[in-house]
Structure 1
């Protein structure tokens, strides 16, 4: 499509912090009409040079945009700021990119809908410097029609994935992704502490760990297949085998004066599964004591 045929949208960005400013800058670079609002207006000055319009109030900013992106500090700030827009929200699409919980996302969706606006909740998986690139990805949930209508704009910020109409789904997925990442980071810092006890540097350990983690990542689809099916009998990596390995890790950690941290909890799960007669089942079966009873997610 030639430049003069590109559809331009009117977008308002509320909040110009670490992610808000790069988002506004990315949209301006793509030729969209961007209005910005920030509690401290001075932060908007660099964006004004790029073509942004600065609104003096939240209501004014919301009035300017058909699409309203909220990138504030926390849920309370997002809720209170949108409340100041009131009826100006009518016929707008509000995309809340502020970190919150699933329940907070649902509550804000109700608040916005009460003023006649459509709502999308978003979770940003990326860093400020990756906004506008494929290195980041953003998750969305909520109004499907609103997502489809503004998909092209949202895709400029990062690859955009709509997970479903429940506004809380993006936050659930975000927290689950963070859980996997934090568990990896917790394992790494524990390993670094354990190796430091015998004089080995963390930087020397990283290349081998990277190779090991690459193999583990390749194993995840198999574990996911077993978990989704609830069938663990044919797993290549059994509960008993892993209990022995993790028990050794916990024992050596304590002997070296390093708290076993996350590995102690894993050992408890593995020990419980083996005691219940599941020692020959796949490692994936440790999910069973953690499952919350309820219908499968479709």
Structure 2
């Protein structure tokens, strides 16, 4: 087979790592892979990948090295041998400080470093629906943008290699809050004999409505001005107290609405009772 796409290496073949290697193969990249348990490479090898006998051999096989393993300690363990003229793209979840440390180590050893995160399930990797966020030198990202485009839609967040991990932390908090809110709501409705499935149309409408508020809320958070266009913190507090009280009457867990109420009460105590809901951002900015 004649290859026109540049060669790549993928270290780590878990669910996501295997999906990344598969996407490179489908896009025509000669793909070298390595995994601690080599049997995980069998399907990829059958599809044309080359299995390296060690991480160092895999790194030597291609100028672009994509790493997707369990944590940053594992990343350090697999980055064996020289990294001269190699661009390491780390798609392993971790903290911003560790991303910066790893970037310094890779540069010290002669390579370039991009940190990243995959905002998609493995099945979506290789399609436009998969969004992959990267941080690190823009010049490195631009040089690898075509190859990385084989994985999905790329988004460069900035030159600081820690920005990808910081965005991932912020996004995880957002995701967990939405999921916990849905599950808490499902528990409240379950006490009335309403199934979580029956709740879906209303829940989706509410999520879409809140998503529509975000552009205006983002501007207010950036400007530090919180007009009460859609109700004051005190108005929200009245509804929050009702949710807490009724949750206890129904016999369902009230911890989440109590936490939400406590944050709003702090905002009101700080003088924002008459402000809009975005004033709560000041509570999240504190320790």
Partner of 1:15 in structure 2?
A: 12
1:229 match:
223
CA distance in 2, matches of 1:242, 1:160: 38
Partner SS for 2:113? strand
- Cα deviation for residue 77 of structure 1 reads 1.0
For the aligned residue pairs, the C-alpha RMSD in angstroms reads 1.5
Give the one of 239, 244, 263 matched to 1:250.
244
Tell me the TM-score normalised to structure 2 length.
0.95
Residues 157 and 164, structure 2, Cα contact 8 Å, conserved in 1: yes
| CA deviation map 1:20-47 (0-9, x unaligned) | 1111111111111111111111111111
Partner of 1:80: 77
For 1:250-273, what per-residue CA distance to the aligned partner results, in whole angstroms no more than 9, with x for missing partners? Answer: 111122222222221111121122
Deviation at 1:248? 0.9
Displacement, 1:234? 4.5
Residue 58 in structure 1 maps to residue 55 in structure 2: yes
- Give runs of aligned pairs for residues 282-293 of structure 1, distance below 5 A: 282-292=276-286
Give, in whole Å, the separation in 1 of the partners of 2:258 and 2:128. Answer: 37
CA distance in 1, matches of 2:275, 2:87: 48
Instruction: Label 1:276 to 1:30 Cα distance change in 2 as closer, same or farther (>3 A).
Output: closer
1:217 matched to 2:217? The reply is no
Give the structure 1 partner of residue 35 of structure 2.
38
What SS does structure 2 have at the residue aligned with 1:241? Answer: helix
Indicate how the Cα distance of structure 1 residues 292 and 268 shifts in structure 2: closer, same or farther if over 3 A, else same: closer
Cα distance in structure 2, aligned partners of 1:163 and 1:292: 24
Distance (whole Å) between structure 2 residues aligned to residue 9 and residue 90 of structure 1? 17
Query: Which range moved further: 269-278 or 44-53?
Result: 269-278
Q: Which runs of 5+ in 1 are unaligned?
A: 294-298
Alignment partner of 1:126 is 2:120: yes
Question: Match of 1:140, SS?
Answer: strand
| Equivalent residue runs for 1:156-167 within 5 Å | 156-167=150-161
Structure 2, unpaired ranges of 5+: none
* Alignment TM-score, normalising by the size of structure 1: 0.92
TM superposition outliers: structure 1 runs of 4+ over 4 Å:
none
Match of 1:186 in 2: 180
CA–CA distance in structure 1, aligned partners of residues 152 and 218 of structure 2: 26
- SS of the aligned residue for 1:86 comes to coil
Deviations 1:183-224 (A, max 9, x none): 010011111111112222111111111112211111111111
Partner Cα distance (1:284, 1:258) in 2: 28
Q: Distance in 1 between matches of 2:200 and 2:141?
A: 40
Equivalent-residue separation in structure 1 for 2:74 and 2:104 (angstroms) = 16
For 1:187 and 1:43, locate their aligned partners in 2 and report how far apart those are by CA, in whole Å: 37
C-alpha distance in 2 between matches for 1:163 and 1:215:
27
Offset at residue 147 of structure 1 (A): 0.6
Following the alignment from structure 2 to structure 1, what is the Cα–Cα distance between the partners of residues 211 and 226?
19
- Tell me the CA shift for residue 229 of structure 1: 0.7
Contact 2:228 2:277 in 1 (8 A): no
